[in-house]
Amino acid sequence: MNLRRRVAFLVVLMALAVMASSCLPAVAEGPVLPTPCPSVTAIPAPVPVPPASKLIYALVDRSISYEALSRQALGLFADVLDVPGVVSPGDRVMVSWIGSDSYSPSSSLFSEVVPRPPERGFPTPVPSPTEPPSGSPVLSWAAYAKQVQKFQCDVATQNRQVKSLVDAGETDRKAALQAFHLKAGSLKNIETPKGDPSTGICDALSKVSEVFSSPLDGVDWASYRLLIFSDMEEWPLPKGGRLCDSVNLKSKLKGVTVVVAMFYCPNGQVCQNWRANYPQMRDAWETVFQDAEASLVSGFLRVEASTPETVAYMLR
């Protein structure tokens, strides 16, 4: 077949193809179907659990023997409150001086509640479609398949809503803690008064026991923490008898966790006498807390060992 015939043959084939295509019925364009939603698992909404709020009370010694450390103790306590996990929304924090007026309301210098973030409502879970009975018509199963597809899409949408609400709740929680920490930071700026000639630890404990024994703000606190910054040198010393007999703390600090931090012994002869008497004095205070049914954590934590992280760990 020469070249001219080949070209003619190809032209005929192309003409036949065009004629055949013109005989085919036109196909109407239908609507674009949505992309099927993948199978998803519903994210459960958080179950609202009443927070187990705690009451943290700090006592700071301002007696003559401890006045050099009073302001440092307030700063340390502010740093302890900044450690994650020490306070939660709903907790209350209180601070009072230890001095000659320990029992008086005038000794109180800080009382704040960690704000609770607003509660957020979560959507009702999407109901699952009901599978048709066995032997149902094909059309019933086709309708069920469409219901399943819609269910999966609705669950995917609701999952995004739940995640958004959970993220917003976490943002609210962080904002509440930040607002509290700004107030607690003011403890570092408090001017400590001149050293008090009296100590009054027992009177301070009596005041704290009364606060712990009655609902505050209409709240029955789930747990109590007592943090004491002091050299634990009660003055004037009781004449005979035991420490704190005059205020009767018997069983009045039941279940309270007690931490003594920044325990300090001055230099010189006073320190030598204190070191000699320390075991006896420590035992005397341990007896006081045992009689009050409090839990004294790890004895006395000395100044050099009192870091924010260590004190925070002991408070938990």
The CA-CA-CA angle for residues 41, 47, 49, to 5°, reads 160
Q: What's the pLDDT score for residue 75? A: 97
Higher pLDDT pick, 179 / 9:
179
Q: Assign 267 a pLDDT band (cuts: 50, 70, 90).
A: low
User: In this model, does residue 167 exceed pLDDT 50?
Assistant: yes
User: In this model, does residue 48 exceed pLDDT 80?
Assistant: no
Query: What CATH topology corresponds to 54-119+187-315?
Result: Rossmann fold (3.40.50)
What does the alpha-carbon distance between residue 163 and residue 45 come to, in Å, rounded to a whole number? Answer: 9
Q: What's the pLDDT score for residue 160? A: 92
Cβ atoms within 10 Å of 126's Cβ, excluding its own: 17
Higher pLDDT pick, 146 / 1:
146
Q: Assign 15 a pLDDT band (cuts: 50, 70, 90).
A: very low
Query: Smallest Cα–Cα separation from 254: which of 300, 201, 208?
Result: 208
Q: Residue by residue, what is the 3-state secondary structure of 32-82?
A: CCCCCCCCCCCCCCCCCCCCCCEEEEEEEECECCCHHHHHHHHHHHHHHHH
225 and 259 Cβ atoms separated by less than 8 Å: yes
- 265, two tokens: 């012994």
Q: What is the mean pLDDT of the chain?
A: 83
What does the alpha-carbon distance between residue 171 and residue 238 come to, in Å, rounded to a whole number? Answer: 52
Q: Assign 22 a pLDDT band (cuts: 50, 70, 90).
A: very low
Most confident of 11-15, 147-151, 258-262, 276-280: 258-262
Query: Smallest Cα–Cα separation from 202: which of 287, 277, 132, 310?
Result: 287
Scanning the chain, the segments in alpha helix (DSSP H) are: 3-23, 67-82, 138-184, 201-213, 269-291, 308-315
The DSSP bridge pattern shows strands 257-263 and 223-229 to be parallel
User: In this model, does residue 221 exceed pLDDT 50?
Assistant: yes
The DSSP bridge pattern shows strands 257-263 and 54-61 to be unpaired
112 and 184 Cβ atoms separated by less than 8 Å: yes
The CA-CA-CA angle for residues 24, 26, 32, to 5°, reads 135
- 121, two tokens: 């409502």
What does the alpha-carbon distance between residue 34 and residue 211 come to, in Å, rounded to a whole number? Answer: 64
- 254, two tokens: 């039941």
Question: What share of the chain in percent tops pLDDT 70?
Answer: 80
Query: Among 95-99, 104-108, 161-165, 192-196, where is mean pLDDT lowest?
Result: 192-196
What does the alpha-carbon distance between residue 196 and residue 67 come to, in Å, rounded to a whole number? Answer: 8
Furthest C-alpha separation in the chain: 136
Mean pLDDT value of segment 68-89: 95
Cβ atoms within 10 Å of 162's Cβ, excluding its own: 17
Mean pLDDT value of segment 32-47: 68
Query: Among 15-24, 140-149, 257-266, where is mean pLDDT lowest?
Result: 15-24
Please report, for the chain, the start and end positions of each structural domain, with discontinuous segments joined by +.
Answer: 54-119+187-315
What does the alpha-carbon distance between residue 207 and residue 214 come to, in Å, rounded to a whole number? Answer: 12
Q: What's the pLDDT score for residue 47? A: 73
Q: What's the pLDDT score for residue 66? A: 92
pTM, two decimal places: 0.78
3-class DSSP assignment, residue 120: coil
